[in-house]
A = this chain, B = another copy of it.
Amino acid sequence: MKIQQGFSLVRIWRYVGLASLLFLVTWQWTIQIDRSLGVSAFASGWVLFGVLAFLSLFSIRKRLPFMPLAPSAIWFMLHTIGGFLALFLFWLHTDALGSKGFYGQVLTVLFYITSISGVIGLFMEKVIPRQLTCSGVEIIYERIPAEIAGIREEVESLILKCTEEIGTSTLAEHYLETLSWYFQKPRFFLNNVFGGHLSQHWVRQQCMILERFLSEKEREYLDKVYMLAEKKRKIDFHYALQSLLKTWLLVHIPMAAAVTAMVIWHLILIMVFFV
Chain A residues in the interface with B (C-beta under 8 A): 127, 130-131, 133-136, 194-198, 200-201, 204
B residues near A135, Cβ cutoff 8 Å? 197, 201
Q: Is the CB of B127 within 8 A of A194?
A: yes
Q: Is the CB of B127 within 8 A of A197?
A: no
Given the complex of chains A and B, what is the CA–CA distance between A220 and B125 in angstroms? 40
Min CB gap A194→B, angstroms = 6
12 A-B pairs, CB-CB below 8 angstroms? A130-B196, A131-B196, A131-B197, A131-B198, A134-B197, A134-B201, A135-B197, A135-B201, A136-B197, A136-B204, A194-B195, A195-B196
B residues near A133, Cβ cutoff 8 Å? 201
Min CB gap A160→B, angstroms = 30
Min CB gap A101→B, angstroms = 23
B residues near A196, Cβ cutoff 8 Å? 130-131, 134, 195
Given the complex of chains A and B, what is the CA–CA distance between A257 and B198 in angstroms? 37
Nearest-neighbor residue (CB-CB) of A132 within chain B? B197
Min CB gap A122→B, angstroms = 16
Min CB gap A124→B, angstroms = 12
Nearest-neighbor residue (CB-CB) of A131 within chain B? B196
Min CB gap A237→B, angstroms = 8
B residues near A198, Cβ cutoff 8 Å? 130-131, 134
Min CB gap A88→B, angstroms = 23
B residues near A130, Cβ cutoff 8 Å? 196, 198
Nearest-neighbor residue (CB-CB) of A196 within chain B? B131
Given the complex of chains A and B, what is the CA–CA distance between A133 and B134 in angstroms? 21
Nearest-neighbor residue (CB-CB) of A204 within chain B? B136
B residues near A200, Cβ cutoff 8 Å? 134, 136
Beyond A131-B197, A134-B198, 10 additional contacts (C-beta under 8 Å) are A130-B196, A130-B198, A131-B195, A131-B198, A134-B201, A136-B197, A136-B201, A194-B195, A195-B195, A195-B196
B residues near A136, Cβ cutoff 8 Å? 197, 200-201, 204
B residues near A201, Cβ cutoff 8 Å? 133-136
Given the complex of chains A and B, what is the CA–CA distance between A196 and B127 in angstroms? 10
Min CB gap A47→B, angstroms = 32
Given the complex of chains A and B, what is the CA–CA distance between A195 and B195 in angstroms? 4
Min CB gap A78→B, angstroms = 28
Given the complex of chains A and B, what is the CA–CA distance between A136 and B196 in angstroms? 12
Given the complex of chains A and B, what is the CA–CA distance between A17 and B26 in angstroms? 51
Given the complex of chains A and B, what is the CA–CA distance between A84 and B210 in angstroms? 46
Given the complex of chains A and B, what is the CA–CA distance between A215 and B242 in angstroms? 40
